[in-house]
Structure 1
Amino acid sequence: MVVQLQSLDGLSAAQLRELTVQLSAEVKHKQALIDKLTHENALLKRMKFAAQSERFDAEQFSLLDDAVAEDLASDADTPVAQAIGHGLRAQPKRHLLPPQLPRREVLHEPESTVCQCGCQMKRIGEDIAEKLDYAPGVFTVERHIRGKWACRKCERLVQAPVAAHVIDKGVPTAGLLAHILVAKFADHLPLYRQEAIFGRAGYAVPRSTLAQWVGACGVQLQPLVDALRAEVLAYPVLHADETPVAMLKPGAGKTHRAYLWAYAPGAFEDIRAVIYDFCESRAGAHARAFLQGWQGSLVCDDFSGYKALMAQGITEVGCLAHARRKFFDLHATSKSVAAQSALLQFGKIYEVERDLQGSSAEERLAQRQARSSPILDALHCWMVQTRQKVADGSAISRAIDYSLKRWEALTRFASDGRLPIDNNHVENQIRPVAIGRSNWLFAGSLRAGQRAAAIMTLIQSAKLNGHDPFAYLKDVLERLPMHPASRVEDLLPHRWQPGLR
């Protein structure tokens, strides 16, 4: 530092000013870089350790209340527990057990009904207490007996035909197959765990056999997925999103990153469905192939793979939740005042949307024009003015730039009542896949991934329509072998009715 100060003695005032400007610019640049790295480090820590909820100013639920309640329940008769218990919130009320559950009566009577005085006692009533029990899965065997009938005179043999099954000459019933599919793709139980569970039930079905059954079901259910895809592509508004899934690379013994793409009709459309498309990469060509010939409004994020679709006449609709998330992450990691201001404006826009739940497209458009558009205009002005005051490369500048560069797509919902405000509808359909990733480990091949996507499509679509996925798949697998191919649409989740044939 002394040498540097001594070397400044021969500089003129103009040179000193120029040097000061250079050093100030360098300090600002390095400070911006430090802020950026600090923000990224805090963001990564939050992603790894903190809660993933994006609620900004909401009352958080505390697990401590449950822990205290559990401790008190384990020692409820102590004076301390009784004293503390008065300060706890009201205990939940016990609901009556569903009447449709089967009942097994356990009778409790005195050893003797003769009184000590020698008189025979008379029964005057009873007290009933119901306890909820559960037994693990139990295997049963269906013995299909087809009687043979013969006529001695004309030597004619009559026998009922073999019933058609999804797996021809196979052992499993439709109920067992449906259970395996739901356990694997809805409850995220890999086949090796199911093998162990079946072993405890009395018959350990080898996982290789289970895999064959799953593959056969995937092939048989594919026509339903194709029919559902055709119906989904008939709607003018679609959501699209994608998530990585590991896939075994043939011959190498290693995995590489494949992707499961999800497509769903708009959140305000009159159909509830989702289509999963398993592809070997994230290339935009896969989205173009799936949406080939479709024209409409596509709700998606800023992924470059969708950009080529916009050149084909598809209208891009941005996701306001993605834009909000940039500011939320900044506020969560650094308590940025600027990010807080943006979040307050986003909150007002979402408040309007909550008020419009259940409204028609016309009413939604009118309310958005009257209430949301002024908020969006004010938010845009704030972003433009704030961007001029912050350094390039800073976290707040990147959050603002994301919104400003996509402002037209992000605000398109305000001019069309059919469009949703964000892409959360399809992101919610991706979550089951994200949960299952830790259990599946990887897809064995591209074909295996595609079969899994077909089964997950029907399971998740059934859940969206309020159906029990087991009941739906069991009925479909029973009816499918004899169901006319021309009426396969009758078996789609949004048209299926339990008990109808």
Structure 2
Amino acid sequence: MTVKVVELEAELEAANKLIASYKAMLFGARSEKARLILDEQGRLDLDDLSDIPATPAAANDDPSVGRPRATARRNIGALPKHLPRVTQVIEPASTQCPCCDGALHRIGETVTEALDIVPAIVRVIATVRPKYACRSCDGGVVQAPAPRRLIEGGMATTSFIVFIAAQRFAWYLPIYRQAQMLAGHGVHIDRSTMLRWMQRLAWWLDGLFDRQLRFIHSQGRIHVDETYLPMLDPGNGKVRRDQIWAHGIDDRGWNGPAPPVVCYFYDRSRSHRTICEQLGAYEGVLHVDGFSSYKALEDPGHKGGSIVLAFCLAHLRRRFVDLHKSTKSPITAQIIKLIGQVYRIEAEIRGTSAGHRFAERQAKSKSIMEELKVLLDDTLARVSTTSTLAKHIRYGQGHWRGLTRFLDDGRIEVDNNFIERQMRPIGLQRKNSLFAGSESGAESWAKISSLLQTAKMNGLDPFTWLDDVLKRIVSGDVKNNDLDQLLAWNWKPATREEQLDLAA
């Protein structure tokens, strides 16, 4: 009986620790979640879903101890020069001298600038196409052809539909909220109509999405990850957990030639078969986590191209960080410290050439990883095989070859956090929209999000880019074999004359 009580108490203690960890993750203040776990260690929590800066720092990197804080951006100085200016001149009430009543003359001026905005204007475009006929004969009637639109005969212009899409997939504003906002303008559009617009827009973008995906799979190193997508299951009255996959590249860490790009896929499964179908004959390095569907890609019997897996060091560190929060073990502290040293080195070499990163990793990071391996092996021999610490150590040992792959190639990243950051838009859309209503809607979701997220990563305004791209495609100005010029990193805005031609 006593043994049973001890076992139950142990299970209760483990369950309480797990609940405490979840409560800290869900309800803890952000300032607490980002606190130092070790005095020598910088930020260790999961900041891998933050926005990407122009020259991004390595995700989850630990800033060096004593490093001065970056200067805050306070918009001191002139406002952006590319914005249009509206000049307001305010004259004095009188230009006569208060002393002698003589006329005052202008000696200078004071100019101050302030940002202003004109809210969205909902309007109706009336397209008039006059008909002309000859009075002298019964010849044919002459009339200009109607301009092509995204939805022929529809009630909305291409720009209107693009605006809905940009708000929905680039800035995560659900369709039903946009419908409510339009109703405030006196425009009542059923949500189902707007959803059909999104599916039609995705149809037009299908070729561009394929070009973008082909570009990703032409690279020697890509990042892959997946997350769940709630899907309405008609007939069962339930929501099932389907999957959104992401494939992406980002060479900015080593100043490589490839721009940041991401493509999303919808699928019902996260199986090995699914990722094999997505990759096709791809050959190269895959940055992934330790999920079993990925590990099977290195098996000799794998059907497809030759793939080398580079596992994510951040995933290993998170395990020990979570354990350290509940146990405060000196072993976990030492492991975290060693991994933190690797990340400090990564922060120093971020943005340098692949050759320099390789040399620095060989000179500095390699010995740290070897010390970490010895520590993991020695610790496992001294702890209970059923403990959580042993479980995490075995994870590291089982993935060690992929975890150290970055040491031998300066182009390989130390973690997979680039693609995890690209999952944040999916998470925000999932939070705001709760679930996808249909599989075709989820596929449209994936395609449009892929293109708009890539535009954002390349510093473009999603609406401006997509509006111009759709008008060129719909009008026939850009043919299918020329779509590469419309990809976000190749795109150049149309000139004023070209814009008038597209609108005609």
**Fold equivalence (TM over 0.5):** yes
Q: Secondary structure at the match of 2:192?
A: helix
The answer to which of 208-217 and 304-313 deviates more is: 304-313
- Structure 1 or 2, whichever has the larger Rg, is 1
- Separation in 2 of the partners of 1:112 and 1:452? 61
Aligned mate of 2:409, from 378, 396, 416: 416
Q: What residue is the counterpart of 1:326 in the other structure?
A: 319
Q: How does 1:273-284 map to 2 (within 5 A)?
A: 273-284=261-272
Q: What residue is the counterpart of 1:225 in the other structure?
A: 209
- Separation in 2 of the partners of 1:327 and 1:408? 19
- Separation in 2 of the partners of 1:490 and 1:406? 41
- Separation in 2 of the partners of 1:265 and 1:130? 40
- Separation in 2 of the partners of 1:54 and 1:238? 32
- Separation in 2 of the partners of 1:296 and 1:263? 13
Q: Secondary structure at the match of 1:178?
A: helix
Q: How does 1:86-485 map to 2 (within 5 A)?
A: 92=74, 94-113=76-95, 119=101, 121-124=103-106, 125-153=108-136, 155-265=139-249, 267=251, 270-311=258-299, 312=302, 313-481=306-474, 482=476, 483-485=478-480
Distance change (3 Å), C-alpha of 1:360 and 1:109: closer
Structure 1 residue 321: Cα displacement: 0.6
The answer to which of 472-481 and 114-123 deviates more is: 114-123
Structure 1 residue 361: Cα displacement: 2.5
Q: Secondary structure at the match of 1:363?
A: helix
The answer to which of 171-180 and 225-234 deviates more is: 171-180
Q: What residue is the counterpart of 2:56 in the other structure?
A: none
Paired residues of 2:249 and 2:260 also in contact (CA < 8 A) = yes
Q: Deviations over 1:187-243 (max 9, x none)?
A: 111111101212223423332221121111011111111121122111221211111
Distance change (3 Å), C-alpha of 1:159 and 1:218: same
Aligned length: 451
Structure 1 residue 362: Cα displacement: 2.8
- Separation in 1 of the partners of 2:222 and 2:229? 22
Distance change (3 Å), C-alpha of 1:119 and 1:418: closer
- Separation in 1 of the partners of 2:271 and 2:35? 29
- Separation in 1 of the partners of 2:262 and 2:458? 11
Note the residue ranges of structure 1 that are not aligned, 5 or more in a row.
5-22, 61-88
Structure 1 residue 350: Cα displacement: 1.3
- Separation in 1 of the partners of 2:342 and 2:246? 26
Note the residue ranges of structure 2 that are not aligned, 5 or more in a row.
45-70, 499-504
Distance change (3 Å), C-alpha of 1:146 and 1:183: same
Distance change (3 Å), C-alpha of 1:496 and 1:103: closer
Q: Deviations over 1:379-418 (max 9, x none)?
A: 1001111222222333322222211121111111212223
Residue 491 (structure 1) aligned with residue 486 (structure 2):
yes
Structure 1 residue 174: Cα displacement: 2.6
- Separation in 1 of the partners of 2:388 and 2:91? 74
Q: Deviations over 1:37-76 (max 9, x none)?
A: 343223212221123558753489xxxxxxxxxxxxxxxx
Structure 1 residue 372: Cα displacement: 1.2
- Separation in 1 of the partners of 2:389 and 2:415? 21
Paired residues of 2:199 and 2:440 also in contact (CA < 8 A) = no
Aligned identity (percent) is 35
The residue type paired with residue 127 of structure 2 is H
Structure 1 residue 349: Cα displacement: 1.0
The answer to which of 33-42 and 395-404 deviates more is: 33-42
The answer to which of 288-297 and 332-341 deviates more is: 332-341
- Separation in 2 of the partners of 1:222 and 1:114? 69
Q: Secondary structure at the match of 2:286?
A: strand
- Separation in 1 of the partners of 2:227 and 2:343? 26
Q: Secondary structure at the match of 1:447?
A: helix
Paired residues of 2:199 and 2:441 also in contact (CA < 8 A) = yes
From the two aligned structures, give the one with the greater helix fraction: 1
Distance change (3 Å), C-alpha of 1:140 and 1:239: same
The residue type paired with residue 277 of structure 2 is A
Q: Secondary structure at the match of 1:496?
A: coil
Q: Secondary structure at the match of 1:151?
A: coil
Q: What residue is the counterpart of 2:52 in the other structure?
A: none
